[in-house]
Structure 1
């Protein structure tokens, strides 16, 4: 096995190329690099979507002929434990063994009941194996996928994937460059362009639930579905995010959310409802319903309350190169009295979506507490 620093360098490359794969499918983003005895990359690959070769097989397919008889000198560095089952494609552990790769290093253990166990299979075949390499960075990349797996299967011994006490909370909003989410009269469609809106729908499709406050529901009458550019469903009804409404006001009988396709698919007669008086308890209840990730589009009141209560994990801020002015801020009071309480974001990255920018960041869970969502939410 190569020295740790060379393996970590390889893992960083693997994580970088993993992001080239689609992020809005049921499959995880996985990257694999094959390193020579000096730690140089001789081949690499990433998973390009359901039904395509897994990252390990993709990398092996790019290996030059000169290495075919010297594969025992190579170390495969993979961002997720090589799978151990046959689905649409064959088991990656078996592919690595068949190729004669001498060592395998991976970041995270595969949490699947059927797909896990690749490391044991490799060891049984005489391959040197090391796990847990840059696992924190890999977990950050695969967080939404891992949250779903954590609720579906029990954690394996030594794999820190406990069933969460609440879902992962992703708070999204769109704003102008001066921080406004709507014009003075309340109109807000559309602040961002088509590219940003398409990205929102892809991210909705990855979540188990989508949450709004009654204020947003009454003002915009949103459908809360994940749709494609033509307006059709991006994923089947049962894979659509469950609609969740927070607040005390009634949902109108004519509200579009009452016809949400996920309701019938899950045997529900109406959206999941919470008053917002205890957001932590509301989220715990969602976890009991099997919800592992929540996409929050609830307007400034709900978004601010979740952030201030320390219940938000990530923020997605779509920023349009435009100005509105006026009172309609995207985020309200967070209960921060002075600059010493500023809430710093971490793991921040920026993506360009047409003319708009998407800021992706994680939040510190130790945020100060805020009161409950009020009647006006």
Structure 2
């Protein structure tokens, strides 16, 4: 008996290869099975084209006729840079399509399934739906809420400190944890920090030693454009994109001269409106943002309810109360007002502990 779930999970594993590389498109995987044998497989390619179904059909060739397709998201039904994938599956003679999710994009939203059924292709929806929803929750959030998924990363000591009183923070966690952070950067469309982090650390924020095809956009939340444009970010802005979220009434000519992309965001109570800033990123296609601090930005995002997932790397070290806290002031006066998170996983990473929490 065919294990349909196993084939869909195979497709989901393929889809993961697109995370961070395919925005504004979703990361999709496709497996074609004929006579109990996998004859084609594919995933959305860097930049969003070709789509997963087209790649799988290309590899299958004539063996696609009569095959069963396992696709992690409803095949598209609209003409873009290429014809609809639903039409491609029909033309190739695929007999049966299992899809994990209906695509909420108004250009698709059931039209792909309807096109397949109208052509006599059998369609089953909802196979491994929850796994597919988790995989593409960034794309789904952008389409349905106009915001990207936000993952907040904190690297701390056992007592929740990110630096000594003097600001020394390299390195609290070990090499394995730092490598894990680069892997996480790689699966996001953008890496975001506040201006304080840029001023203190002059970070690079790229993915290193991973052989990536597409670097994440480097986003700086800097209402007054305090960060100097002659640091690492400004010097490399023409090679790896830098987007500056800034407030109104500031002179951005020096940053613009580096090749950075300037996005004006309104202020609320004297601070950058982070919801509006994230909405601006989503409007330009971003689905997944990886925030690496600092403490003020972390507090503001959590306080505004804009963080979807919190990932902590905890080192076996203690700094004490004079050290700098991982999260800035949030103005809470009662424990009942503290945001609550759901534990997802906890893993040893070298000598440190990685913990994943979700705000549900």
Question: Does the pair score TM above 0.5?
Answer: yes
The answer to whether 1:78 aligns with 2:78 is no
Sort the Cα spacing of 1:351 and 1:295 in 2 relative to 1 into closer, same or farther, 3 A: same
Separation in structure 2 between the aligned mates of residue 351 and residue 28 of structure 1, nearest angstrom = 28
Sort the Cα spacing of 1:304 and 1:34 in 2 relative to 1 into closer, same or farther, 3 A: same
The answer to whether 1:329 aligns with 2:328 is no
Per-residue displacement from partner, 1:190-241 (whole Å, max 9, x unpaired)? 2234444344345445555543333323221223x423239x99636xx623
1:227 is aligned, of 207, 211, 218, to 207
Taking structure 1 as the reference length, the TM-score comes to: 0.64
- In the other structure, the counterpart of 2:96 is 102
Separation in structure 1 between the aligned mates of residue 340 and residue 162 of structure 2, nearest angstrom = 21
**Residue segments in structure 1 that go unaligned for 5+ positions in a row:** 63-67, 151-160, 365-377
How many aligned residue pairs are there? 332
C-alpha contact (below 8 Å) 2:8/2:31 kept by paired residues: no
**Match of 1:295, SS?**
strand
Larger RCO: 1 or 2 (CA < 8 Å, sep 6+): 2
Per-residue displacement from partner, 1:242-273 (whole Å, max 9, x unpaired)? 43325x68334644334351256996476867
1:307-322 alignment to 2 at 5 Å? 307-320=302-315, 322=316
Sort the Cα spacing of 1:122 and 1:288 in 2 relative to 1 into closer, same or farther, 3 A: same
1:257 is aligned, of 233, 253, 256, to 233
Structure 1 residue 117 displacement after superposition: 5.3
1:292-311 alignment to 2 at 5 Å? 292=286, 293-311=288-306
C-alpha contact (below 8 Å) 1:208/1:294 kept by paired residues: yes
Sort the Cα spacing of 1:79 and 1:349 in 2 relative to 1 into closer, same or farther, 3 A: farther
CA RMSD in angstroms, aligned pairs only: 4.9
Separation in structure 1 between the aligned mates of residue 171 and residue 275 of structure 2, nearest angstrom = 30
1:358 is aligned, of 344, 354, 358, to 354
The answer to whether 1:344 aligns with 2:340 is yes
Separation in structure 1 between the aligned mates of residue 271 and residue 148 of structure 2, nearest angstrom = 12
**Match of 2:306, SS?**
coil
Structure 1 residue 113 displacement after superposition: 5.9
C-alpha contact (below 8 Å) 1:17/1:45 kept by paired residues: no
- In the other structure, the counterpart of 2:120 is 126
Separation in structure 1 between the aligned mates of residue 277 and residue 358 of structure 2, nearest angstrom = 23
**Residue segments in structure 2 that go unaligned for 5+ positions in a row:** 243-255
Sort the Cα spacing of 1:207 and 1:332 in 2 relative to 1 into closer, same or farther, 3 A: same
Structure 1 residue 80 displacement after superposition: 0.9
19-28 or 291-300, larger mean C-alpha shift:
19-28
The answer to whether 1:189 aligns with 2:170 is yes
Separation in structure 2 between the aligned mates of residue 194 and residue 112 of structure 1, nearest angstrom = 44
Structure 1 residue 333 displacement after superposition: 4.4
1:141 is aligned, of 111, 135, 140, to 135
Separation in structure 2 between the aligned mates of residue 54 and residue 269 of structure 1, nearest angstrom = 30
Separation in structure 1 between the aligned mates of residue 87 and residue 140 of structure 2, nearest angstrom = 20
Sort the Cα spacing of 1:46 and 1:103 in 2 relative to 1 into closer, same or farther, 3 A: closer
Structure 1 residue 354 displacement after superposition: 4.5
C-alpha contact (below 8 Å) 2:51/2:85 kept by paired residues: no
Separation in structure 2 between the aligned mates of residue 235 and residue 250 of structure 1, nearest angstrom = 28
The answer to whether 1:213 aligns with 2:194 is yes
Separation in structure 2 between the aligned mates of residue 211 and residue 301 of structure 1, nearest angstrom = 13
Separation in structure 1 between the aligned mates of residue 130 and residue 50 of structure 2, nearest angstrom = 27
Taking structure 2 as the reference length, the TM-score comes to: 0.67
